Structure 1
């Protein structure tokens, strides 16, 4: 009995295999592209809503008034589980309160000034963080892509033993595949430390959720909060009995007195207006990579202790450093500009890597114009789709359907590029000009 598949089946299987590889490359390209733009997350928010009140500092009593006003406006709604107060920082000098149902800006006196309108920035964040896929599914896929980046970086080094020696060598007399390969290899070397740091931290952040769910299921009776408690502190015991607004101003004043050297970024109220409520303040110590330390207070504003992110176990400090190292939230604008440049280089590496792979397949006699066209559509369609969504933000307002616009525009770009590549290939076949590149144009590796 003949069990081996026929030639047509093998060809279809190879095409399917290549299409899956192209899909992984496309997702990695989108993550790198969106991450490069997301470096300026705070700047995008300020551009979206230029008329929002801004201040360098805000008085604790003004924060207290704002919290009370927002909680009063939530009466009659399902109780919010968390209330977040973003305090002014140099990158985003605004005071914003977010609950489960709303987000508003405060003025310097603590009055509610306007709803927060940063839907495009949140769309961009969602694209990079989850590829707009549901919750843990999306962030896990992005984490796996981080692992793929690590594997590609290491395997690329092993596959090109002269890569460091040739770090500044360009074969400018060549064109086509050789030039593309040189740019790919050189940019890979120049961005290697950055790329590994981004890939490793991205994989850690992306896979943390699925790991936490697995640990909760195996060891903590599905209590997800118990998994995170040793690192970030516990949530406390809930008590739904009614209670007055917690003393946020007292907690902020205590912070100013006891920890004047730290920069406060967030105040979080857990289970506000209930007897189980407590206050948590996030503040960044100077000259540290961690995103911040958690300072715990009770509802009366009495200090209870810290979580230990700044001086606890080395694993805690490492976990708290992942975020800033990945997103470039340290060192101000110069670091952001450097992250943007390195991120753009990584995006080019992703794009050229797939072009090189498709070129090698073509030189082996595997002609797939549709796949090449699809990759053209991804490489040029994704930034164009992002530009369209940004234009829609300022033309149509905060309520525009950015996710639908982006994925529709990208899909149309891919379809159009595939159709154009198919027509071009058919025209070459008819004219007899579909000739493989000469040997001198083939990449050396």
Structure 2
């Protein structure tokens, strides 16, 4: 066997086993990814939220202080953990828990209240802790990202995504010599079903190559979000908080106005839009600061976030925390992974590519089983003379 043939054989083995190991999980990822392309549309369709009040488009938002006060009035023994300001709809989500420590130890103890951002009127709240039923899209997202297993599941699915990238690259290496004697796009329809599926498998694989690599690599990066944010928390943020490390934890009655903290962040970054607040003691953030999340207003910068630390007692600006390059790459990869950059046309394209990927993965499984079945048939055929001779010998004896 020539060195070239040996190299192709090694690439074939890499392609075969990397594909076999990850295929079932990648099928699950692709199937759950179909509805996730239209997460917002599905959530809106299945939502039973009451309609928002009909107000002029230029109605200014209500003070966040009013929303926080309303939440604390409904749950006087609890604390606010974070607040999310939706820039696509007039709504604010206020997240609460018995305490920050209880939320860390028992994530199910957290819940949210939804308000109209213009009137500060209460809209609805999540089910009581422990009774919350996840939405259809949240179920699909959990299956897609971590198999309901948290960080271990995220890392496992990231490994499967990496194997998918390896299978794709090795498939490209094998494609060129395979297609040397065939025109591009050839599907040999007169050579049996296995050959037809092999040609279709190769054609779809090479036609969707760039999409598969983009979605595969961004998917792997997305699965690393938890450890990457942990690295950021333990390096840049902790370094910025050295001046507060010896100060006692902040009590709830010491907190300054969250609305004033938002205004401080807006003055520091006037070209940015505020999207939320992490309260002191949150998993990501500071024990002594409001972490105000801001994002840009352009198509690209709207995917990039810049947190601002505001002293939760004095309300003074402490630091603007530009994200490191690896978190910027993560933030840019998230909408690209789900085709959420250019509206409905890109979503339709992503949907079609996803369906093609399901066909590629399914045909790959079929080809392996068909080849395995063919080998078994050949092995049985080779054994037939020996079996016949054994039967004859037994008859004579």
CA separation of 1:294 and 1:112: change in aligned 2, threshold 3 A: same
Give the alignment partner of residue 95 of structure 2, picking from 95, 98, 104.
Answer: 98
Give the alignment partner of residue 142 of structure 2, picking from 114, 126, 138.
Answer: 126
Paired residues of 2:20 and 2:365 also in contact (CA < 8 A): yes
Paired residues of 1:264 and 1:284 also in contact (CA < 8 A): no
The Cα shift of 1:307 comes to: 1.9
Aligned partner of residue 204 in structure 2, secondary structure: helix
The Cα shift of 1:297 comes to: 2.6
CA separation of 1:270 and 1:188: change in aligned 2, threshold 3 A: farther
Q: Which residue of 2 aligns with 1:114?
A: 124
Give the alignment partner of residue 47 of structure 2, picking from 46, 49, 54.
Answer: 49
The Cα shift of 1:205 comes to: 2.6
Q: Which residue of 2 aligns with 1:276?
A: 288
TM-score by length of 1: 0.63
1:108-159 Cα shifts (integer Å, max 9, x gaps): 31122112486222211111110122x1111111110111111111011111
The Cα shift of 1:27 comes to: 1.5
Give the alignment partner of residue 180 of structure 1, picking from 181, 197, 212.
Answer: 197
1:249-282 Cα shifts (integer Å, max 9, x gaps): 234445556645434433332338x982413123
Q: Which residue of 1 aligns with 2:320?
A: 306
1:278-307 Cα shifts (integer Å, max 9, x gaps): 131232341326442223333355444432
CA separation of 1:40 and 1:72: change in aligned 2, threshold 3 A: same
Task: Name the stretch that deviates more: 58-67 or 150-159.
Answer: 58-67
CA separation of 1:75 and 1:321: change in aligned 2, threshold 3 A: same
1:357 aligns with 2:376: no
Q: Which runs of 5+ in 1 are unaligned?
A: 1-17, 217-223, 368-445
Paired residues of 2:229 and 2:327 also in contact (CA < 8 A): no
CA separation of 1:73 and 1:62: change in aligned 2, threshold 3 A: same
Aligned partner of residue 123 in structure 1, secondary structure: helix
Task: Work out the CA distance in 2 between the residues paired with 1:253 and 1:58.
Answer: 18
The Cα shift of 1:177 comes to: 1.6
Paired residues of 1:157 and 1:163 also in contact (CA < 8 A): no
Matches within 5 A, 1:130-145: 130-133=146-149, 135-145=150-160
Q: Which residue of 2 aligns with 1:27?
A: 25
Aligned partner of residue 185 in structure 2, secondary structure: coil
Give the alignment partner of residue 310 of structure 2, picking from 290, 293, 297.
Answer: 297
Paired residues of 2:19 and 2:163 also in contact (CA < 8 A): no
The Cα shift of 1:211 comes to: 7.5
The Cα shift of 1:62 comes to: 3.8
Q: Which runs of 5+ in 2 are unaligned?
A: 1-15, 98-109, 128-133, 379-397
Q: Which residue of 2 aligns with 1:241?
A: 251
Q: Which residue of 1 aligns with 2:395?
A: none
1:87 aligns with 2:102: no
Task: Name the stretch that deviates more: 26-35 or 314-323.
Answer: 314-323
Task: Work out the CA distance in 1 between the residues paired with 2:241 and 2:370.
Answer: 53
1:322-360 Cα shifts (integer Å, max 9, x gaps): 323223332233332222222222222222211111111
1:374-396 Cα shifts (integer Å, max 9, x gaps): xxxxxxxxxxxxxxxxxxxxxxx
Aligned partner of residue 364 in structure 1, secondary structure: helix
Q: Higher Cα Rg: structure 1 or 2?
A: 2
The Cα shift of 1:193 comes to: 1.3
Paired residues of 1:197 and 1:326 also in contact (CA < 8 A): yes
Task: Work out the CA distance in 2 between the residues paired with 1:343 and 1:301.
Answer: 48
The Cα shift of 1:54 comes to: 4.8
Task: Work out the CA distance in 2 between the residues paired with 1:111 and 1:151.
Answer: 52
